[in-house]
Structure 1
Amino acid sequence: MDKLRKHIEDVVPISDGEFDFVKPFFTYKRVKKHQYLTQEGDTVTFEYLILSGVFRMFYLDSEGKEYIVQFAGENWWMADYQAYFKEKKATLHIVCMEDAEVLCLNLHGRETLSAELHKMEHFFRAKLTNGYVALQRRIISLLASTPQQRYEEFGQLYPHLMQKIPKKYIAEYLGVSRETLSRLYSNRVTQ
């Protein structure tokens, strides 16, 4: 729970008593490589704070083509938020890419924390705002940047993920073929 406290205190200060109130709302879970947290059609009970490991969130179309929506590593939050907040069935898959640890928080717990402890409401709002900004940046990048620019931006924003994620998935995330990604990598190394 030390990681949770530090994660919260990166946004808002929290006293020992306040943290004692917060802790019981979170459940610890170990996740194995290739294990799913969520699959299409599931009821989405939790959002996850990633303590360690890397996850991939993706959408599968009717023909089985995978579209990567997000990667998430340590200190990132992840869920099929449409399903989580609207209490609908999942449309996204979340799979573990290496053995990991997460903290699980259900919607009722999140709402209770926000109502009972204003600092936590501020914390959750800050985290959602940052996520929304990152999502807009990703959409703009996909719409207006060249593959080389997207690759370089990904490397600058997430250098730690470049080492952990197979190139196949980075290519899918950037919307390029594996061959194109190899050329982009070669261009970057020779520059």
Structure 2
Amino acid sequence: MQENYGLLRQHFEEIVNLTDAEWEQIAPHFEYRKLKKHQFLIQTDQPVECEFWIISGLVKSYAIDQKGNEHILQFGMEQYWVSDYFAFQHQLPATIFVDCIEDSEFFCLSLESRESICQQIPAIANFYRIKSNNGFINLQQRILSLLTLSAEERYDELLNKLPKLLQRVPKKLIAAYLGVSRETLSRFKN
């Protein structure tokens, strides 16, 4: 378990420098959790108590429309942060689901803890600012690709950006992420 905290510290230190004393203030705020495949981190209409940093495993964030169709917003794998950020930030019930595609391990951080360590340690506030900006950029690029690229171009883009993801995720989930049927996906060249 201690090695997992080392991985988390390395993750922070890819962006900011932390002293040992700062890390000793930060680490206790993170709670370790382990979930099995198909277990939920977040379910709609439930409180969103944490944001999650993925130590190992794979999750999907998604919404289900009135017809029962699943619309995948994001896949999260090792070293990704995931939550229903609107609900988390505003302490409202969840509007999306997040569940495990594989057995997964996480560190959970409450909003109160995040705010506390950001106030106490400016480097952590800077870390979250940079991570938030990068997340916004990725979201903007995803929306633009949905608006401007064909489904096959979106598939090729996903294949180029995250080739290992396609080996870990069932085709029906890739289709839901791309917004196409499984039959359409099967026609794309690999």
The offset of 1:63, in angstroms, is: 2.7
Paired residues in the alignment total 186
Aligned letter for 1:49? W
**C-alpha separation between the residues in 2 aligned to 1:109 and 1:156?**
36
1:53 to 2:57 alignment: yes
Residue 159 of structure 1 is matched in structure 2 by 163
Aligned letter for 2:18? I
**Which of residues 86, 89, 93 in structure 2 aligns to 1:85?**
89
Residue 172 of structure 1 is matched in structure 2 by 176
1:52-103 deviation per Cα after TM superposition (whole angstroms, max 9, x unaligned): 0000011112232211111100000000001000111101000000001000
Residue 44 of structure 2 is matched in structure 1 by 40
Structure 1: runs of 5 or more not aligned: none
The offset of 1:14, in angstroms, is: 1.0
CA RMSD of the aligned region, Å?
A: 0.8
The offset of 1:16, in angstroms, is: 1.0
**Which of residues 105, 108, 111 in structure 2 aligns to 1:101?**
105
Structure 2: runs of 5 or more not aligned: none
Instruction: Please identify runs of 4+ aligned residues in structure 1 that moved more than 3 A.
Output: none
Aligned letter for 1:181? L
**C-alpha separation between the residues in 1 aligned to 2:125 and 2:90?**
18
**Which of residues 17, 22, 26 in structure 2 aligns to 1:13?**
17
**C-alpha separation between the residues in 2 aligned to 1:92 and 1:68?**
10
Residue 25 of structure 1 is matched in structure 2 by 29
Residue 119 of structure 1 is matched in structure 2 by 123
Percentage of pairs with the same residue: 41
**C-alpha separation between the residues in 2 aligned to 1:147 and 1:101?**
32
The TM-score with structure 1 as length reference comes to 0.95
1:69 to 2:83 alignment: no
Aligned letter for 1:63? K
Residue 150 of structure 1 is matched in structure 2 by 154
The TM-score with structure 2 as length reference comes to 0.96
